[in-house]
Structure formats: structure tokens, C-alpha cells
Structure 1
Amino acid sequence: MIGIVGGTHILEIEVLSDVKEVQIETPYGRAEVDIGRIDGIDVAIIQRHGKRKDKPPHRINHAANFFALKTLGVRYTIGMGSVGCLREEYELPSLIIPDDYIDFFSGITVFNDSLVHVTPGFDEYLRGVLLDTAKDISSFPVIEKGVYFQTKGPRLETRAEIAMIKNFADCVGMTAGSEATVARELGMSYAVICTMDNYAHGIKNEVVDYREIVMRARENAEECLKIVSEAVKRIWHEKFLKT
């Protein structure tokens, strides 16, 4: 089984066939999971903000979500997200498959009662699949790598904050760093593909409006999901059928 973790707009797209909604109890709390199929391949989807869109970024239970996926036998998980662009030279909308991240603020971990240190990062195999797939079928420009800067949320960033973090990163979001950390701690492979839907606050003198972000993210979600669905097929053939 392959995992997908998406944002609010995946709720509005019919992704799976033969869908079964389940709630899984984990040591970290309850997780809501949709289990179904993409072209006959077993897939588990978690909507990180909840099926009622009631979990803002700082309240997402990443540990429960990924533990639930692991319980279901998921080894490979693809994240989907919408990010703010920190580079004036990038054309929007674009796709980015980050190769590293900065997350100083979430403090997320599954190790609350033991002293364990992991080396965090995105899975290079999954990154390669997403990158090759995006290059093959996307109508958007594809940015092959970059640094994802995770802020805590739920508020957007100030101009001064963006002016600082643009010196160290290429895009800004609120979830992928936490997801990558928890996945690595649980021994799971994870990478993320993001739509760059807007310039971050102050980039190109842009004034960020949340309603505008939501509108653009909704418009571009289909493109991202098209790539993820094809990537699921490639992972299945390369990692499951050959074993």
C-alpha cells in the first residue's frame, strides 16, 4: 500500500475508487484515513487538515497520521502541498520537489519518552520518481530541488520574516518539514511535491491575501494530483511488483 498526504483541496477531487473511510487509534491519538485504489493499486490517503477542514497547521497530529499509515503497511508516502514562492525569478504557477527543509519551530517528534536522534530529510528515491513524472507529464515549470522553510502557522508570514528566510530557502509552507521528520523517525520513506501558487509576502511587492492563496491552490491541485497518481503507479511497479 502507498500513502498520500494532501491538503484541503484533495477533498474536492475524486481521487480513489472503492473508498473506505476508517479511523485508526494510535499511541499518539486517532487518525482518519481513506483507503481505496488508484488504477487497482491500494492507496491510503490522509487529509492533513481533517475531513472537516478543522485542523489548522499547528494542530495537525503528524505522529498519529504517519503511525496510522505505518500500521496499514505503508512504506512510501507522497505529500502534496501549496507553498509560497521566495524567488522572484520563478514563473508561477510552478511545481517544486524540495530536496531539503528548515523547521526550527514545530518541535515535532514521536520520541517523547526516549533519547533518539535521527538525521532528517526527504527520501531521494521518492524525489526522483516525482521529479521524473513531473518532467514527463506536467504542463507547469518544474523546479528540481530547493529548500522548504516551514513556519508554524496558522498565520501567514510578515514581510520582515520573508525578507529574512528568502536568504535561506526557496519556498515557504507549514507542514512538509514536520511530515518528513515524523516519517523518518518511523522508518518510512517520504517526499513532497508542491505547487507554487503565489509569491510570499513582499516578494515582487506582493501583498498576500489568504482568499487569493486558496483560490490559486484550488486551481492548481488537479495538476499536482495528476503527477502524484502517475507516481503511485511507478512506485508500485518498481518497488512492489519486482519484489
Structure 2
Amino acid sequence: MCSTLSSNVPLPIFELKSVSKQFGNFQSLIDINLQIWTGDRVALVGSSGAGKSTLINLLNGTLRPTQGEVWVLGRNLARLRSKALRQVQRQIGTIYQQFHLVDNLRVIHNVNAGHLGRWSFLKAAVSLIFPMEVETAARALKQVGILEKLYERTDRLSGGQQQRVAIARVLVQNPSAILADEPISSLDPERSREIMQLLRHLSQDSGKTLVTSLHAFEYARSYYKRIIGLRQGRILFDAPVEAVSPAMVEALYKINERR
């Protein structure tokens, strides 16, 4: 799907226009205006409750805004019928902190879940007995460094290995953009660095847009080109990594009661 106008003027892959999101009496996001372009590598940073996960779920169409418009690949998600919305969502791969894997299945089946948007129900069911597109799954697992785990039961893997399976599933999906919601929150520091290096490497090699929410600023500074600081549901700053000063980071994480 091409994200350009007829005049060949590039469009953002993601655009939020005056977006707010409210859950009951809680304002998770307030008046967000944002553009993310093809090939961008963006970190969303801020304290817990800043609105990072809400923003990720607006970008992939899981949530709808209370106010404003969310545009993905040149389409206003609110105006799409269910089938068209699913077509757009298939172009967006999401990696979650909880992994969202089926523990009692073998790795190949979890990786092949990346095909579900394209496969028929019958093909998906048959593949659970006779795995299909094994070479595609193996290639994705090789990219994330665990090819030898192809037929391992997923619940026998470490947390870091399970996150690599989740990333391989997204690679099989082959989306235009990858969203990662706190992908290292449950990992130790060494595994966290490995996953950050892997995501950066995959983004650089493929040219895919990568948007990642992170609690810890040091990972954003080390692995991303652009940092968006969220505080109390608002964008405090949006800048290239080299332009983010210590004072900006201090203001981002300053402790005080929310409104």
C-alpha cells in the first residue's frame, strides 16, 4: 500500500491530529499532534501512566480516539469499514510486553501466526498439524538468532527467547511499520540490550518504521534517532536524540502529582 498523494508528495505513515483519549474520568492523552514518516526510528518515553501504551494502541487501531483523527498509511481509521481497517492493520506489526504467545504450542506455530491475516481458517488449522511455510518461519527465526528453536515448545524458552519469537512473528507478517510496546519491561538488563540491538538492526536493514515505547530513557538515547517525551498525556518534546538535553529529561521524569 502506497502512502503517497497522486502528486507523489509523501504522506506520513502515521499522523495524529488533535487526538485525545479518555478512559472514564481519566485523560490518558490530550491534544496530540504527531507525524511519523517511513523509515523513522522513534522512541516514546515517559513515566508510567504518561500515555505511551495508549498512543501505541491508537496507532495500530486497537483503540479509537475520544477526539481527533488517527491516520495510518494515508487513511483515516475512523472512516474505514471493518474489512478496510483490517487491511490497514495488517500493515502494522505490534510487539507487546506480554509477548502474546501460545505457550503450549511449538515455536513454528507462534511464528506462523504472523500469516493469519492472509491465511484462510482452513489453512491455519491444517498448519497446526502439518506446519506450512517452514522456510519462511526458519528465515525469521534466523534473523532473530534462534533458528535452533524452530520446533521447541514455546513455554520452554527464556523470556528473551520468547520475545525473539514475538519479533519473528512480526517479521513473517512483513508489515510496513513495527510498533513495540515496552518490549523489554520483563527482561533483565543484558536481555534488554540484546532486544534493543535486534530491533535497531532489523529496522536499519529493512528500512521499516519502528516506534517503541520505553520507560527508561537510556535505551531511547542509545538505540533511536528521534525521541518523543510524553508527560501526563501531553507531548513535552519531540526532537532528534542529539537535541534532547539533560534539562528536558529531568523535566520529563520530574515527580509531581498528575493534575
- In the superposition, the TM-score normalised over structure 2's length comes to 0.29
> Between Structure 1 and Structure 2, which shows a larger proportion of helix residues?
2
TM-score normalised to the size of structure 1?
Answer: 0.31
Larger Rg: 2
